Structure 1
Amino acid sequence: MVIKANKTEVYALGQHISMSVHKARRVIDQIRGRSYEETLMILELMPYRACYPIFKVVYSAAANASSLLGSNEADLVISKAQVNEGTTLKRLKLRARGRSYRIKKPTCHIMIVIKDISISDYEETFWLKPEKFFEKASMQELKKIKGKNQYKTRKEHYMYNNGGTWDKK
């Protein structure tokens, strides 16, 4: 299923893939935000079983982008990648003395959104206007600003958003 949200994004969806959500998310977290060619190399070299179905969905999304948007593979970036939980298949395993145990086989839905960066004009969004965000302010202007908008440089902005100087991951 393919839908163009705006004229630069296309997605591909793989449904009912027989795999746990946690195992697929481990791989999806590695490819989110990377370029298409880099993603294919990562997926080929990672040793997880989840890589092959994700590889197929990424390849399908790129084929959709090239057919619908006419984009080049070098300009594609994975803008959004998510794994949702699908239906759980319930099966019975026969045991001794006529008993049976229930087996749950989880499934997942993988969605990959690919964006063509050659078509779109990439602009970063800040909570202040960019021209005001990077200009040097005098001490009088700094005293007027209160609250969370007090940071004027990009480094201070990132440090404020991350909660400190170290990374929380």
Structure 2
Amino acid sequence: MIKKIKKNPSTEVYALGQHICMSPHKARRVIDQIRGRSYEETMMILELMPYRACYPILKLVYSAAANASHNMGFNEKNLVISKAEVNQSTTVKKLKPRARGRSYPIKRPTCSITIVLQNIAFYEEEFQRYQYNILDLNKPVEWITKEKYTDMTCYDMYNKGGLWDKK
């Protein structure tokens, strides 16, 4: 059962899947890989991952993107997964017959998954407007071409100020 709800009409759209028959822990393993990625990259990741949780999450991401393009008119290239969460839902309880007329309880956990897509086209336009106002394109920009240092020297406050290298 998939619900489609609009959260913030300006930039966000989300899809909610409830009572999906899998453990929330197994679904979180996949959700942690796609959080913060673009829509196209997420679809490639979910199609290639070997877990059973990928298929319902793929359907939810596809549903949220369809909501964004149909209801809001967003372009799928500008969508980013801003929020993805898995919550525990109800537990299906069954009884299995065992030896000597006894019964053994079986608990099947279910989960609810929420995928929130955000349109970043507005933010890119604002960034470009801001960037051209600040930067002078005739001068070389030093802070963009400058390489970052990978070695860091840190002071450890617990070992009497000893030095250690962090890479």
User: Could you state the TM-score of these two structures normalised by the residue count of structure 1?
Assistant: 0.71
- Which residue does 1:5 correspond to in 2? 8
SS of 1:64 mapped into structure 2: helix
1:4 is displaced (CA, Å) by 2.8
Partner secondary structure for residue 8 of structure 2: coil
Structure 1 SS opposite 2:22: coil
Structure 2 residue aligned with 1:34: 37
- Partners of 2:125 and 2:35 lie apart in 1 by 17
Change (3 A) 1:26 1:68: same
Counterpart Cα distance in 1 of 2:125 and 2:26: 32
CA RMSD in angstroms, aligned pairs only: 2.6
Equivalents in 2 of 1:120, 1:64: separation in Å?
A: 20
Any unmatched runs of 5+ in structure 1?
A: 125-154, 156-164
Query: Counterpart amino acid of 2:56?
Result: P
After superposition, residues 7-156 of structure 1 pair within 5 angstroms as 7-120=10-123
Q: Mind listing any 5+ residue stretches in structure 2 that lack a counterpart?
A: 128-148, 150-164
Q: CA deviation at 1:70?
A: 0.5
**Identity across matched positions, percent:** 69
Whose radius of gyration is greater, 1 or 2? Answer: 2
Q: Which one has a larger percent strand, Structure 1 or Structure 2? A: 2
Instruction: State the SS of the aligned residue for 1:37.
Output: helix
TM-score, normalised to structure 2, is 0.72
Count residues with an aligned counterpart: 131
Q: Give the Cα separation in 2 of the matches to 1:21 and 1:69.
A: 30
Moved over 6 A (4+): none
